[in-house]
Structure 1
Amino acid sequence: MSDQREIAIVRWPGQTPSAEDGLARLLADYHLRTEAEKGEAVADVDGLPDRYRIEVSDPRTAFIDDVVLLALSGDTSVGCLVVTAPTDGQSEIKRLWTDPAFRGQGIASGLLSAALAHATESGATDVRLSVWKWRTGAIALYERLGFTVSESWDERDLLVCMQRAL
């Protein structure tokens, strides 16, 4: 018998009182881990580049035009993803993160499926994303969901750009 709680995917803001705090924690974990993986480790959120520190300190403003999806286990935020409103028929997925203690439960797949459904409902004809080359598990997940490597729109080294038609 499994002791796992059901994971719910909700759109943010406004879903639960603790969602904003949980989102900030997930974004902080995401950015701190990414900086460390890039070889630019920082001790805490205060050491993050401004654009990332703003996302953590004020996600409501940072993602004002976007939809943030949260995966909740009970009232605990255990995963997040941001999907942008379509521009010229294209949405972008960013900030996919699952709390390491909850990985292997299909949370990232659920968030991605919800993001693709939202993008379709919003009128997007395709979705793009970028992922660091060393995140091979994430790349494999994206490929399983129909994303393919595309021409880069970002000049950063080791960043893989991917796209999927809806």
Structure 2
Amino acid sequence: MTDRHGVVIVRWPGQGPAAARPAELLAAYHLRTQAEKGDPVADVDALPDRYRTEILDPRAAFADDTVLIALSGGDTAVGCVVLTAPAGGRSEIKRLWTDPASRSRGIASGLIAAALAHAADNGVGTVRLSVWKWRTSAIALYERLGFTVVPSWETRDQLLCMERTV
């Protein structure tokens, strides 16, 4: 899809290196998030069921969604994002994650740009997301990419809701 500083963004599942499951990226995302919530767990087995299910069977968990993977060097997965299936002219960005060793290379913004392009190509008018309030660098990235804060649709405390027109 895109080539940015030696990183290619591809749709998953695919063939070749992109066929690899995004399990490691999802595991890192959920383990980090759990720790940031103040409830760290030792491993994937200790995560809540809904998160563990995504890691163990991402094909089923995201069957109707679009999963994009950032590959470095052609075969090393360094980032991912999920774009939910359109509903009522909207899609939602979820599970944006860049491997910490690969940050500051434009991977997250490349993943979001690819997700927005995919949304536009599929007739989506609005893309939304929720982000933990303490993730200030992620919020700044979303704002730079045109997302604005909107009234919350989330019931979980500490989540900020944002959206943008595609």
Structure 2-normalised TM-score? Answer: 0.94
Are 1:72 and 2:45 an aligned pair? no
State the number of aligned residues.
162
SS at structure 2 position matched to 1:9: strand
* Structure 2 counterparts to residues 30-69 of structure 1, below 5 A: 30-69=29-68
SS at structure 1 position matched to 2:80: strand
Contact 2:11/2:18 (8 A) holds in 1:
no
Q: Kindly provide the CA deviation profile for residues 99-145 of structure 1, in whole angstroms up to 9, marking residues without a partner as x.
A: 00000000000000000000001110000000000000000000001
* Change over 3 Å in CA distance of 1:137–1:15 after alignment to 2: farther
Residue 104 of structure 1 corresponds to: 104
Contact 1:128/1:161 (8 A) holds in 2:
yes
Letter in 2 for 1:45: V
Stretches of structure 2 lacking an aligned partner (at least 5 in a row): none
Letter in 2 for 1:36: A
Contact 2:35/2:41 (8 A) holds in 1:
yes
SS at structure 1 position matched to 2:20: helix
Q: In the TM superposition, what is the alpha-carbon distance from 1:83 to its structure 2 partner? A: 0.3
Are 1:161 and 2:158 an aligned pair? no
SS at structure 1 position matched to 2:153: coil
Q: In the TM superposition, what is the alpha-carbon distance from 1:13 to its structure 2 partner? A: 0.4
Structure 1-normalised TM-score? Answer: 0.94
Letter in 1 for 2:79: G
Residue 28 of structure 1 corresponds to: 27
Residue 13 of structure 1 corresponds to: 13
C-alpha distance in structure 2 between counterparts of 1:136 and 1:16, whole Å: 35
- Percent same amino acid at aligned positions? 70
Letter in 1 for 2:102: F
Stretches of structure 1 lacking an aligned partner (at least 5 in a row): none
Residue 84 of structure 1 corresponds to: 84
Are 1:148 and 2:152 an aligned pair? no
* Change over 3 Å in CA distance of 1:18–1:12 after alignment to 2: closer
Q: In the TM superposition, what is the alpha-carbon distance from 1:14 to its structure 2 partner? A: 1.6
Contact 2:66/2:84 (8 A) holds in 1:
yes
| Structure 1 outlier segments of 4+, above 2 Å | 15-21
SS at structure 2 position matched to 1:146: coil
Q: In the TM superposition, what is the alpha-carbon distance from 1:84 to its structure 2 partner? A: 1.0
Q: In the TM superposition, what is the alpha-carbon distance from 1:15 to its structure 2 partner? A: 3.4
C-alpha distance in structure 1 between counterparts of 2:102 and 2:17, whole Å: 21
Contact 1:19/1:77 (8 A) holds in 2:
no
Alpha-carbon RMSD:
1.3
C-alpha distance in structure 2 between counterparts of 1:73 and 1:30, whole Å: 18
Letter in 2 for 1:91: S
C-alpha distance in structure 1 between counterparts of 2:85 and 2:128, whole Å: 12
